[in-house]
Amino acid sequence: MVFNTIEFLVFFLVFFNVYWALNRLPSVIYRNIFTLISSYFFYGWWDYRFLILIFFSSLVDYILGIQIGKSQNRRKKIFLIASISINLGILAFFKYFNFFIDSTHDLLALLNIPINTRTLNIILPVGISFYTFQSLSYTIDIYKQKIQATKNILTFFTFVSFFPQLVAGPIERASHLLNQFNDRKIFSYSRTIQGLRLVLWGLFKKVVIADNVGLLTDHIFNPQNPLTALVTFIGALSFAFQIYCDFSGYSDIAIGIAKMLGFDLMQNFRTPYFATSLSDFWHRWHISLSTWFRDYVYIPLGGSREKPMRAHFNIFITFVLSGFWHGAQFTFMIWGALHGLFLLIEKHIPLRVKNWISIPFVFIITTVLWLPFRANNFGHLMQMIKSFSVVGYSHEILSTTFLTVYSTAKLSVLIAVFILFLITEFKIGLLDFNLWIGDKPKVWRMAFYYLLLISILMLGNFDVKPNFIYFQF
């Protein structure tokens, strides 16, 4: 089930009313049972077989979490290793099995070693990377004695499967979210309004900006269409805004829905394209994942405490693994490696310029670095790179590129709406959307809400598949 569908609207309206009715009962058990069943229904809407996997993963970490919490020394470490091995083993099988088989075949072919390999027709469960990392951080934090293991199996299962952030984050920590399921919730009109604001803003970014800009991205990067340096850069620009508005839009909707239910989820994006350095970009982009890799990969490797060469390696390998998390293709690893490399360069050659110079400079770098992320495969990436040798400006090519995708009237309206979006993002800055809009005069707020709603109804593209880009990760 997807947020921007009629099915989800009906689901949530029913859930919202029953949920708050159950909150009037003296115990939170009935509310949590209903939330868990509803979350499983939400997740099983794609494929009911996925439920077996999330149930098994939750059960394993629930049991091992208790064992880690009450064990000492070697036994404690054995249970942690079991949790890591099972979680990453499941993830590796569903996400990377065919990749490893194909890579092994290609390597042996280069060595002239004949071998017959066979891949499997594996369906990648939606959101497996997200809930696996969320569940895994729970057992690791117990091992590090940052939290205590819960003995409430209902609370833990609901924490892992909570439907607003189940399939695309934010990736929450048990220290922040788990105990919220034990709290009594009191309906708040102001929190509901705040949640609706985030849902409206997220839906606008998704269906108006991301899904319309995505049409241009797909047209430009269709392998059958010729590329020039300028066209490729325009494609990179369109994809930069497509993926940002698609993913941050999902996060806004998830956080807004959770807020309407009395839960607080972490902020996942802080206007990353206004970052003043690449390091600043990664403090603003997919914050829940970047902090996860910082806490569970980078710091355990030694972080910046090691000697310079080892510290540089720690940064580089963390970003390579982060790229690999996104998908079983070398292009994702190249994307991660390039970000790691540019971060290392930035450490030695820091930007010491005004923001009006550093912001567009960093934006151009991050935009170009999206190319390996967007490429269908390594060959497609090479096609993109080679296009930068085809320089020159052609009005005919550009006009054909845009007018093939949009009518003149729609393009004009979309440009106006896009400018509104950019101005709003600039004004929001590092603030939460609610904090930014909450202190505006009521007349101004209402006009802004109606403008967003009209844009969604008149310009929204609801026919995009896959529905959200990060569902495939």
List residues with catalytic annotation. 326
3-state secondary structure of 465: coil
As a whole number of angstroms, the distance between CA 316 and CA 306 comes to: 14
The length of the chain is: 473
The dihedral built from the CA positions of residue 251, 252, 255 and 258, taken in this order, carries a sign that is negative
AA letter at 262: G
Q: At what angle do helices 128-143 and 153-161 cross, to 10 degrees?
A: 140
DSSP per residue, 118-133: --------TTHHHHHH
Long-range contacts of 404-413 (CB under 8 A, 24+ apart): 404/219, 405/215, 405/216, 405/219, 406/212, 406/215, 406/216, 410/459, 413/459
User: Could you tell me the two tokens for 305?
Assistant: 């405490």
Q: Cis bond leading into 170, ω under 30°? A: yes
AA letter at 379: G
Exposure string (b/e) for 429-463, b if CB count within 10 Å is 16 or more? eeebbbebbeeeeeeeeeebeeebeebbeebbbee
User: Could you tell me the two tokens for 141?
Assistant: 């934090």
AA letter at 176: H
Q: Are 249 and 206 in contact (CB under 8 A)?
A: yes
Q: How far does Cα 248 stand from its chain's mean position?
A: 7
